[in-house]
Amino acid sequence: MKIIMLGAPGAGKGTQAKMIAGKYGIPHISTGDIFRANIKDQTELGMEAKKYMDQGLLVPDELTVKILLDRVAKDDCRNGYVLDGFPRTIPQAEVLDKAVEELNESIDFAVNVDVKDENIIKRMSGRRACLKCGATYHIEHIPPKQEGICDSCGSELVLRDDDKPETVKKRLSVYHEQTQPLIDYYNKKGILREVDGSQDMNDVFNAIVAILDGADKH
């Protein structure tokens, strides 16, 4: 199964993508996590991506597309994957479509996790992220067992550099301008499904599972 998670920054794409990956046994691929791991390791790619990410801007398509295509070509993607944060522009979606079509395959669903902008700003300031394994927490809604420490790998949790309120506002405006058009793009292809991302995370997940398992007839 090949799934794309759409939604504004902070809508819960990463939270849901991890749960989907666990249930269906497919890899969770987040371009944001790949960039953050490269920043942490101070690679050339990481240093280049950081310039854009810290300003709330998108990393240029040339850099992003290559990373994603290399990743989905790996063996563990043979039974599918859940993409989180890619595609983010129409050209990225077109490149992905072409790559998938070349394998005579197709994307099954593009799931849009819908959350209003005002809720997003509140969520982001409480988010804590593990830069080592990509796990995400929220100090109020989804706290780690031990404050400041990742439940999964024991690393230190941090507030992401791009989660400052000014940068979140910029990310939201970039989202509306460059990424939101993808909703229409996938709607026209008949694979768009919408879920209300403002519910409790388990309710959001149940709604997504109903879609993926075909219980939700749209």
Per-residue x/- track, 125-164, ligand AP5 (CB under 6 A): -xx--------xxx--xx-------------------x--
Binding of residue 28 to ligand AP5 (CB under 6 A): no
Binding of residue 13 to ligand AP5 (CB under 6 A): yes
- Which ranges in 54-138 belong to alpha helices (H)? 61-72, 90-102, 117-126
Binding of residue 10 to Mg ion (CB under 5 A): no
13 is catalytic: yes
What does the radius of gyration of the chain's CA atoms come to, in whole angstroms? 16
The answer to whether 95 and 66 have CB atoms below 8 angstroms apart is: no
The answer to whether 26 and 81 have CB atoms below 8 angstroms apart is: yes
Q: Which one of 4, 6, 19, 53 is in contact with ligand AP5 (CB under 6 A)?
A: 53
The CB-of-137 to ligand AP5 minimum distance in angstroms stands at: 6
Q: Which one of 3, 4, 6, 7 is in contact with ligand AP5 (CB under 6 A)?
A: 7
CA distances from 95 to 98, 101, 112, 161, 194 (A): 5, 10, 20, 29, 23
127 is catalytic: yes
Residues 55-74 touching ligand AP5, rule: CB under 6 A, are: 57-59, 64
160 is catalytic: yes
The CB-of-118 to Mg ion minimum distance in angstroms stands at: 19
The three-state secondary structure class of 111 is strand
Position of tokens 């067992």? 145
Binding of residue 88 to ligand AP5 (CB under 6 A): yes
The answer to whether 46 and 39 have CB atoms below 8 angstroms apart is: yes
Q: Which one of 2, 28, 71, 171 is in contact with ligand AP5 (CB under 6 A)?
A: 171
- The Cα 32–Cα 11 span in angstroms is 14
The stretch among 10-18, 36-44, 159-167, 168-176 that binds Mg ion (CB under 5 A) is 10-18
* Residue positions annotated with a catalytic role: 13, 88, 127, 160, 171
